[in-house]
Amino acid sequence: MPSAQLPSTPRASSSSEPSYSPTARSTTMNADDGDDRRSSTPIVSSNQANEKDKPRLTEQEKKSNHIASEQKRRAAIREGFDRLTELVPGLEGQGRSESIVLNKTVEFMRLKLRERQELIAEVEGRGGRIDETLRPQNKMSEKQPLTSGVDSPPAYEAAPPTRTPLPRPPPLSLPFLNDLRNRRVILASASPRRRQIMSLLGLPNIEIIPSNTPEDFPKTLQPFEYVLATASKKAHAVYEQEISNEEKGEPGLILAADTIVVDSSSGAILEKPHSEAGHIAMLKALRNARNHKVYTAIAAMAPLASARDPGYAVETAIEETTVKFDAGVTDELILAYVRTREGVDKAGGYGIQGLGSILVEGIEGSYDNVVGLPLKTTLGIIEKVMARADDDDRLAGEEGDEEGSELEEEE
């Protein structure tokens, strides 16, 4: 008689076996679970079967696939940088390094963000309301680097810091600037650098209307005569164009400027380069001369409050700065800089506010003047021209003097 056999206890599954379910199995098994455990027939999915049938790639094929993928990735990145050079002012053309494109793009984004914030502050200052969807949410700090590290976590006992946004500083509160904040202010220049410098004065209604008048004064003039005549011509041309603008009304101020670079060794007036060869020769001449002069002339015009001839007040000024080029600048560095095309739209062929600073050893005078608009001098002539334009009080005083002299003659 065969002895009774105890039912075999199912073995616990080994930890090395794959788990098909992400949830833990219940300790009490039902009948179906027992049947599944006792079944020894392996289940092979169709996907696993297909994977086994696929031929394995050779090392050369893997390498070729990797190279093709990397080429596509680099092409996509290059396409993105090319698109940025089309969208961001000052990045026209090819040959720029990726670091220059990124830095210029960040500067452009910060400028646009600042302009939007100033516009929102102006609207709110006049009692208007701004839709929250139009308010910038992701504020970029002016000092924030392109690659920022991760802040260290606070201690457990430390309370999270409460960050209260600082109030926006008020604009430069001067009587003549306050008078212009509700009037048209025209900058007769297409230079984005001059516009950026002018925006520091906090004038919300700056219009960019470049002068189309040709700059055809003879280069035989003295540098300060040439640059002053050019700036004055620009201001008068835009004034004549806009003084009778019935749609927008007469402007409160028109500001024009012109900048030239003078080679100290030859005395030649250097403006914007016209070709790559000329650009290279221009920078080599400045390096060999070591020192050169930068002149900026500013012309400010404002319509008179009275009906006096000629109907406007005008003030002009000239700023001079000496720039010293680094004697160690090599021909190779000059060629590399020229091919960035940063200096093609700048007098002298370089931009001191950008990559062109690597060519410069030092300056004597106003830095803003080399950029294109000396801010301190500009503020001074705006104050003078606005005082001269507001001549109603002076006119009344002069009329009173004339009446008094007539009475004295009658007596």
Catalytic residue positions? 258
**Alpha helices (runs of H) in 213-305, residue ranges in sequence order:** 223-242, 276-289
The CA distance from 328 to 319, in Å, is 28
3-state secondary structure the chain: CCCCCCCCCCCCCCCCCCCCCCCCCCCCCCHHHHHHHHCCCCCCCHHHHHHHHCCCCCHHHHHHHHHHHHHHHHHHHHHHHHHHHHHCCCCCCCCCCHHHHHHHHHHHHHHHHHHHHHHHHHHHHCCCCCCHHHCCCCCCCCCCCCCCCCCCCCCCCCCCCCCCCCCCCCCCCCHHHHHHCCCCEEECCCCHHHHHHHHCCCCCCEEECCCCCCCCCCCCCCHHHHHHHHHHHHHHHHHHHHCCCCCCCCCCEEEEEEEEEEECCCCCEECCCCCHHHHHHHHHHHHHHCEEEEEEEEEEEEECCCCCCCCEEEEEEEEEEEEEECCCCCHHHHHHHHCCCCCCCCHHHCCCCCHHHHHEEEEECCHHHHHCCCHHHHHHHHHHHHHHHCCHHHHHHHHHHHHHHHHHHHC
Q: Which of 97, 129, 11 is nearest to 336 (CA)?
A: 97
The CA distance from 278 to 375, in Å, is 31
The CA distance from 194 to 207, in Å, is 12
